[in-house]
Amino acid sequence: MEIIKELPEVFEEFAEQRKNSFLAVKKLKDQGVPVVGAYCTYFPQEIAMAAGAATVGLCSTSDETIPVAEKDLPKNLCPLIKSSYGFAKTDKCPFFYFSDVVVGETTCDGKKKMYEYMAEFKDVFIMELPNTQSEEALKLWKSEILRFKEYLEEKFQVEITDEKLKEAVKLQNAYRTSLKGLYEVMKHDPAPITGYDLFKVLYGSTFKFDKGAIPGEIDALVEKIKKEYAQGKMQEKKPRILLTGCPVGGATEKVIRAVEENGGIVVAFENCTGAKSIDRLVEEEAADLYDAIARRYLQIGCSVMTPDASRLELLGRLLEEYQADGVVEMTLQACHTYNVESLSIRRFVNGKKKIPYISVETDYSQQDIGQLNTRIAAFIEML
C-alpha cells in the first residue's frame, strides 16, 4: 500500500535532499558511474549525461570554509567563489570529492582565476563561454560543447552517440518541464504554497541523481497542490514578490525568509535556482543537436552577458505572468556583474514596468539578518 505523504513532509524531504545525496554519490562511484561536477547554469548537462555520467552542482553557499579560502583568495571576493573554493580545498563537499572532473566556465573574472588554483589539486575542464549572444558567439560556444564531448569520450573511454544524446535531451527537457509546471502553481492569487517551500523543491531537485524519476515525483506533487488549492487550502493574500539577482541557496535563503516573515510572499524566482535554468528547452527534433544545445544554453540571461537582453525578456514575462507587486534583487558582495547590472534592472522594473524595486546586498554570514528584515519589511509595507 502506497503511503500518501502530506505536503510539508514532501517539502522537507526536498530540503534535505542535498545532505541525503552525499551517500548516493558515493554509491554511484562504487558502482563505477563517472561523476561530473559543475558550478554554473551554462554547464551543458546533456553532454555529460550522454557519456553515462551523473551530474551534480558544486556551488557552495555557506561561510563555513571561507576562512580557509581566504588563505589563497582575496577577502573582498564574492562569497560564492570563496565558499566553493574552500569546500573544494578542505574536501568537506562529498560531491566535489567524488567528482572525476569539475567543469568550469569563463563567466566572471573571480571564478576564472579560482579555477586556475583549483586545477592544482583536481581535474578541471574549462569551457570558454562567450560573454555575448550573437551568431558568432554561438559558433564559439558550439565548438566548446564539441570539445567537451571529445574530452569526456577520451576521459571515460566511451562514445557519445546521437541516440544517447537525444535520450539525454529528452530526459533533461522532461525534468525542466515538470519543474516549470511546479513553479507555475504560483500564478494563482492567493498563492497555494509559500515561496520558501517552492524553493526547497527547486533547489533540492538539483541534487537528485535519478533524472528519469523526477518528472513523475514533481507532477504528483503539483497534482496534490492543485487538489488542496481547490479544497481551499492556500496562503493568505499578501504582496507578491519576485526575487531576482545572484544564485539563492544555503545562507542566502535568509532573503526569502525576510520577505515571507515580514508580510510578503515570493511567487517567482528569476535567479539561477529558479526560472533562469528551467525556462528554455532544447529543440528535440533539431537536425543538429549540438547546435540546439548550444543555442539553448547560450540564451540564458546572466549578468555576464553583454547586452543582457535575455534576462530582461524573462524578467518581463515573469512580472506579468505572476502579477508581481514588487521586485527584490539580491546581490552578493563583490559580485561585480550583478551589482553593476542592478541599475539596468531598476530602470526596467521601476521605469518601464512601473513596479516597486529594492536591491539588497548580502553575503553568507547571518550578521545582517536584522538589517535585511528592517529594509524588506519597510519595502513590503510600502506596497
| One-letter amino acid of 343 | L
- Got the DSSP string for 168-220? HHHHHHHHHHHHHHHHGGGGSSS-SS-HHHHHHHHHHGGG-S-TTTHHHHHHH
CB distance 327 to 357 below 8 Å:
yes
In the beta sheet, which residues pair with residue 82? none
Banded model confidence at residue 140, pLDDT cuts 50, 70, 90: very high
Residue 311 has pLDDT above 70, yes or no: yes
Question: Could you report the per-residue pLDDT of 125-134, keeping only the tens digit for each?
Answer: 999 999 999 9
Q: Determine the average pLDDT of the residues in 195-209.
A: 95
Percent of the chain clearing pLDDT 90 (strictly above): 96
Task: Indicate the CATH number for domain 7-162.
Answer: 3.40.50.11890
Query: Which pLDDT value is given to residue 3?
Result: 53
Question: Could you report the per-residue pLDDT of 221-245, keeping only the tens digit for each?
Answer: 999 999 999 999 999 999 999 999 9
Q: Determine the average pLDDT of the residues in 71-87.
A: 97
CB distance 304 to 109 below 8 Å:
no
Query: Which pLDDT value is given to residue 1?
Result: 44
Q: Determine the average pLDDT of the residues in 34-42.
A: 97
Burial class (CB in 10 A: 0-12, 13-18, 19+), 19: exposed
Question: Could you report the per-residue pLDDT of 316-337, keeping only the tens digit for each?
Answer: 999 999 999 999 999 999 999 9
Query: Which pLDDT value is given to residue 5?
Result: 80
Q: Determine the average pLDDT of the residues in 253-273.
A: 97
Q: Determine the average pLDDT of the residues in 166-177.
A: 98
Cα(40)–Cα(36) distance, rounded to whole angstroms? 12
Tell me the domain boundaries of the chain. 7-162
Picking from 46, 53, 47, 12, the residue whose alpha carbon sits closest to that of residue 209 is 53
- Got the DSSP string for 195-208? HHHHHHHHHHGGG-
Question: Could you report the per-residue pLDDT of 290-305, keeping only the tens digit for each?
Answer: 999 999 999 999 999 9
Cα(327)–Cα(271) distance, rounded to whole angstroms? 12
Angle at 341 between CA 336 and CA 347, to 5 degrees: 155
State the pTM of this model: 0.96
